[in-house]
Amino acid sequence: MRITDARVVVCSPGRNYVTLIIETDEGLVGIGDATLNGREMAVVAYLREHVCPLLVGRDARRIEDIWQYLYKGAYWRRGPVTMTAIAAVDVALWDLKGKAADMPVYQLLGGAARDGVMVYTHASGEDLAALHRDVQENLDLGYRAVRVQASIPGLASTYGVPSAGDAVYEPASGNRPQEDRWDTAAYLDFAAEMISSVREEFGYGFHLLHDVHHRLSPIEAAHLGKALEPYRMFWIEDPTPAEDQSAFRTIRQHTTTPLAVGEVFNSIWDCQHLITERLIDYIRTSVSHAGGITHLRRIFALADLYGVRSGSHGAGDLSPASFAAALHVDMSIPNFGVQEYMGHRSPAEEVFDVSYSVVDGHAHPGDAPGIGVTFDEEAAARHPYEPRYLPINRRLDGTVHDW
């Protein structure tokens, strides 16, 4: 099965998505997600200029060889742009392999290790009453794991809290990022109050998660973890800037609140010490930012040796092709933990036709051959790319802060 064409389509059905399409001489078509939120066009250029021309003529069945060829062959390894591009190729090749075998990808990965994949949903609110309403709605929909975020009193905007009725929380700010303000003291006081209020209102019959978005120092994160211990968190996510793996030693020495990190990681080397030193409980690398199904499985296999479970990133800026690919991995690994599920904003469904389903808080990839997502290029052309950025975060005195 030879690759005859590899092309990249950028579209914005609700938000920006970059999709790699690979065609073969057997008439099969595979797709992979190459979206890197706010830096989309860097991956587009990487693929168009440096990868697609190298793919044409290759045997599409040789997934591992093509992965190594692109990773080792480039000399410049790792990094979000490189690893997102390789991920898109890898997922498209797994999609093709599934179609050639007439099987869903999870069957090729060893078959179902569970009946379905527990997902966590997002609940948020401008205040605690609104947050509680959203938690209730999600519990009523059958979700068993809920991530809670609410606006921090005194700050004009809080990342992770979408404006009413919107399904994305990065503001559509055109050619320049919005600038938010941040106050660690206000956050720390409020976070404990928010979490305790949710447990008081709804009890302990579901899993409770919270995302810190990399904003604390190690000792502040340790303080938060300790303060949240009575509320039996499923995890706190991204407590400190993720590239400093040693920060987690400090946090770990102080608290038993489970820790999750990894949505900004792009290779197994970013995870190595966190996993082998048992500094985290959940590794959140995503299929589309960490080298695809091939590399993500390697990360999760390492994690399994050390009792660390998966908790893949699944925000709406990862396209349905990425979410589907994640589900195939989630279904088949022994150490699955949870899968993030934010859904996709309309009209994404005009462009991506999906075979996966989410029922009663559990997702299943479906049994269509490949990853089970098809991409409609004509529909995509009706939704052209619009530059958008994640917000910048500044402290009250104007200093650019971590996130």
Q: Which stretch binds ligand CS2 (CB under 6 A): 17-25, 175-183, 201-209, 312-320?
A: 312-320
The least distance separating ligand CS2 from the CB of residue 143, rounded to whole angstroms, comes to 15
Interatomic CA distance for residues 235 and 229, integer angstroms: 10
Q: Which is nearer to ligand CS2, 315 or 326 (CB)?
A: 315
Q: Pick from 311, 323, 377: which is nearest to 354 by CA?
A: 323
Residue with tokens 């995509």: 380
User: Does 37 sit near ligand CS2 (CB under 6 A)?
Assistant: yes
Q: Which stretch binds ligand CS2 (CB under 6 A): 3-11, 108-116, 189-197, 309-317?
A: 309-317
37 binds, among Mg ion, ligand CS2, none (CB under 5 to 8 A by kind): ligand CS2
Task: Bin 174: left if φ > 0, else alpha if -120 < ψ < 50, else beta.
Answer: left
User: Does 319 sit near ligand CS2 (CB under 6 A)?
Assistant: no
The least distance separating Mg ion from the CB of residue 240, rounded to whole angstroms, comes to 13
Q: What's the farthest any 2 CA atoms get from each other in the chain?
A: 61
Interatomic CA distance for residues 261 and 243, integer angstroms: 10
For the purposes of burial, counting CB atoms within 10 Å of the CB of 88, is it exposed (0-12), middle (13-18) or buried (19 or more)?
buried
DSSP letter string, 99-166:
HHHTSBHHHHTTS-SSSSEEEEEEEEESSHHHHHHHHHHHHHTT-SEEEEEEPPTTSS--TT-PPTT-
Q: Which is nearer to Mg ion, 95 or 211 (CB)?
A: 211
Interatomic CA distance for residues 68 and 170, integer angstroms: 34
The least distance separating Mg ion from the CB of residue 239, rounded to whole angstroms, comes to 11
Interatomic CA distance for residues 158 and 217, integer angstroms: 19
Determine the size of the site formed for ligand CS2 (CB under 6 A): 9
User: Does 263 sit near ligand CS2 (CB under 6 A)?
Assistant: yes
Q: Which is nearer to ligand CS2, 106 or 248 (CB)?
A: 248
Interatomic CA distance for residues 210 and 149, integer angstroms: 7
23 binds, among ligand CS2, Mg ion, none (CB under 5 to 8 A by kind): none
The least distance separating Mg ion from the CB of residue 185, rounded to whole angstroms, comes to 22
User: Does 149 sit near ligand CS2 (CB under 6 A)?
Assistant: no
Q: Which is nearer to ligand CS2, 245 or 393 (CB)?
A: 393
Binding site for Mg ion (CB under 5 A): 211
User: Does 211 sit near ligand CS2 (CB under 6 A)?
Assistant: yes
3-state DSSP assignment of residue 190: helix
Q: Which residues bind ligand CS2 (CB under 6 A)?
A: 37, 211, 213, 263, 313, 315, 317, 340, 390
